[in-house]
Amino acid sequence: MDMSESLSTRDGKKLTKPAFYAGLMIILSLLPLFISQGYMLHILTLTFIYIIAAVSLRTITISGQFPLAHAAFMGMGAYLSGMASKWLGWSPWLTIPLAALMTAGIGMLIGYPFARLRALYYAMVSLFFGIGVTQAIYAGGIWTGGYGGLIGISPLLPPTTSKVPYYYLSLGLAMVSIIALYRFEFCRIGTTLKAVAQSHLAASSVGINEAWYRILAMGVGCFFVGLAGAAYAHYNLVISGTSFNFMATLWLVMYVLIGGIGHFAGPIIGTFILILIPEFFRDLKTYSPFIYAGTLIIVVYLMPQGLAGLPQMVRSWFTEHRKDKRTVHAA
């Protein structure tokens, strides 16, 4: 599959990049001072949680696997943490990391038999696995709440009406996860994963244990998506299987593809755009999905590399343009 092509990094100017990120961080951390509506902060909090999920999905795809069960793993983290806090009475501060670790463990256990599947078959079998997980959640009776969803999950913080603490917590969690996943992608293991993705035969021939690296990528991706799911459960306090079904997985895939799968920043941009754009048109109510679909169509027809590839596209367009002019003058 050509999903993990063009993963090369471009060396930007030495100081502009850190300055840009620092500015972005300052804006994001000062945002609650300017936004008084609780609803907008709620949307931003959810956006940060989904950013973790989308970035971790992309981390798995750099190993050449395209799992279509990512929302199911998010649901696994959410339900494990929610059930542990509800039925065992454990503190959410303990259950969130535990649920993330267990999701990673399940992901690696699943990854072991799935490592013999490739490309399309891998994507499809993981899709069926995700459907099985949602059906199992529905079938869980009183333990998972069945079709009605799990209610009565203990909140992360003592009850407050303010959304601001949750905003900062999710922002911090997203920052830590993004930095961790960035380090993972550009360390030796990440490079090995890209080698496996480009040619598993060539990678095996130089002594890389392909199956183990694919399982490892699965474990890392599932850890962070489980973390996101658990955080979602203790923020939202009500979870149901419909938030983690097959269509939810496809939304996560959309966040990654619209942002641009070839760039690390892709899923972050994609999640922001695809969650916030329909929010701006919330007054249209039932018609707002059309805005969403319109965004997808515009990006898919005009930006083959996704939104993150836009600067490069514009730059190459300008250089082409200038070259044309020069040839005209020379003639």
Partner 1 sequence: MEQLVPTLTNILVLSSMYILVALGFVLLFNVAGILNFAHGVIYMLGGYIGFAFSVVCGLNQWLALLLTVIVIASFGVFLERFCFRPFAGDFNRTVTICIAIIVILETGVNIIGGTKILTFPAFVEGILRIGHVSVSHERIVTFAIGAALLGIIIWFINRTKWGQQMQAISQDIEAAALQGINVHRISAFASALGCGLAAIAGCLMGAYIGLSPFMGDFMLVKVLIVAILAGVGSIGGVFFAGLVLGAIDAILPLFISGAASSAIAVAIVIVILLIRPQGLFGHEMEM
Site string for partner 1, 140-179 (x = CB under 8 A): ------xx--------------------------------
* CA geometry: angle 106, 110, 112, nearest 5 deg: 120
290 belongs to the binding site for partner 1 (CB under 8 A): yes
Which one among 21, 39, 87, 121 touches partner 1, defined by CB under 8 A? 121
**Binding span for partner 1 by CB under 8 A among 88-96, 118-126, 156-164, 181-189:** 118-126
How far is residue 331 from each of residues 270, 317, 327, measured CA to CA in Å? 44, 21, 6
| Closest distance to partner 1 from the beta carbon of 21 (Å) | 27
**Binding span for partner 1 by CB under 8 A among 32-40, 43-51, 72-80, 132-140:** 132-140
12 belongs to the binding site for partner 1 (CB under 8 A): no
287 belongs to the binding site for partner 1 (CB under 8 A): yes
Half-sphere exposure of 53 (CA within 13 A, CB side): 35
Give the residue with the Cβ less far from partner 1, 173 or 248: 248
Give the residue with the Cβ less far from partner 1, 28 or 131: 131
Which one among 31, 35, 109, 129 touches partner 1, defined by CB under 8 A? 129
Question: Considering only residues 52-81, where is the footprint of partner 1 by CB under 8 A?
Answer: none
Instruction: Give the 3-state secondary structure of the chain.
Output: CCCCCCCCCCCCCCCHHHHHHHHHHHHHHHHHHHCCCHHHHHHHHHHHHHHHHHHHHHHHHCCCCCCCCHHHHHHHHHHHHHHHHHHCCCCHHHHHHHHHHHHHHHHHHHHHHHCCCCHHHHHHHHHHHHHHHHHHHHCCCCCCCHHHCECCCCCCCCCCCCCHHHHHHHHHHHHHHHHHHHHHHCCHHHHHHHHHHHCHHHHHHCCCCHHHHHHHHHHHHHHHHHHHHHHHHHHHCCECHHHHCHHHHHHHHHHHHHHCCCCCCHHHHHHHHHHHHHHHCHHHHHHHHHHHHHHHHHHHHHCCCCHHHHHHHHHHHHHHHHHHHHHHHHC
Give the residue with the Cβ less far from partner 1, 13 or 285: 285
296 belongs to the binding site for partner 1 (CB under 8 A): yes
Question: Considering only residues 236-265, where is the footprint of partner 1 by CB under 8 A?
Answer: 246-247, 250, 253-254, 257-258, 261
310 belongs to the binding site for partner 1 (CB under 8 A): no
Give the residue with the Cβ less far from partner 1, 33 or 302: 302
Give the residue with the Cβ less far from partner 1, 82 or 306: 306
Q: Would you say 146 and 85 are in contact if contact means Cβ atoms under 8 Å apart?
A: no
**Binding span for partner 1 by CB under 8 A among 85-93, 189-197, 292-300, 318-326:** 292-300
Give the residue with the Cβ less far from partner 1, 293 or 330: 293
> Which residues contribute to the site for partner 1 (CB under 8 A)?
1-3, 113-114, 116-121, 124-125, 127-129, 131-132, 135-136, 138-139, 146-147, 246-247, 250, 253-254, 257-258, 261, 286-287, 289-290, 292-293, 296-297, 299-301, 304
